[in-house]
Amino acid sequence: IELVNDSGIPNDNLTNNVRPQFQVTVPTDVNEVRLSIDGGKTWFNATPGATPGVWDYTWLTDVANGSHTLTVEATDAAGNKATQKLEFTIDTMLSEPTIALDSTDDSGTKGDNLTNVNKPTFILGNI
């Protein structure tokens, strides 16, 4: 199972897209692939892609920010079913970046962020 529109670090299953797109690779004798988010109350059918054994589905409604579990159920021609899960996160909130003086360059009272260092080091966070 692949989160196609993964917008974080590759393969971290983090996206800022509220309509996530998934690609599922299964054996070529599979004739149905269904997907559900967070509990399996509602299932959606994926569509076969151009490559045999590859199925695609893009969520048609917005999925809320936060952590989610995608459940995929594949059924082959003999009626055998297999299920697999993928944890993913939707995060559309912009993190506020931080900047701080490196504590080794804080030459005044520790924590006051005053320095007499000509080329101090700063620590950037949330970027």
- CA nearest 56: which of 22, 26, 88, 28? 22
Where in the sequence of the chain do the CATH 2.60.40.1220 domains occur?
Answer: 2-90
Q: What is the pLDDT of residue 126?
A: 80
- From first to last of its 127 residues, the chain has per-residue pLDDT tens of 999 999 978 999 999 999 999 999 999 999 999 999 998 789 999 999 999 999 999 999 999 999 999 999 999 999 999 999 999 999 998 778 889 999 999 887 888 888 999 999 999 988 7
Q: What is the pLDDT of residue 80?
A: 98
pTM for the structure as a whole: 0.74
Q: In angstroms, rounded to a whole number, what is the distance separating the alpha carbons of residues 12 and 6?
A: 7
Rg for the chain, CA atoms, rounded: 23
Question: Thinking of the domain 2-90, which architecture would CATH place it in?
Answer: Sandwich (2.60)
Q: What is the pLDDT of residue 113?
A: 85
Q: What is the pLDDT of residue 33?
A: 98
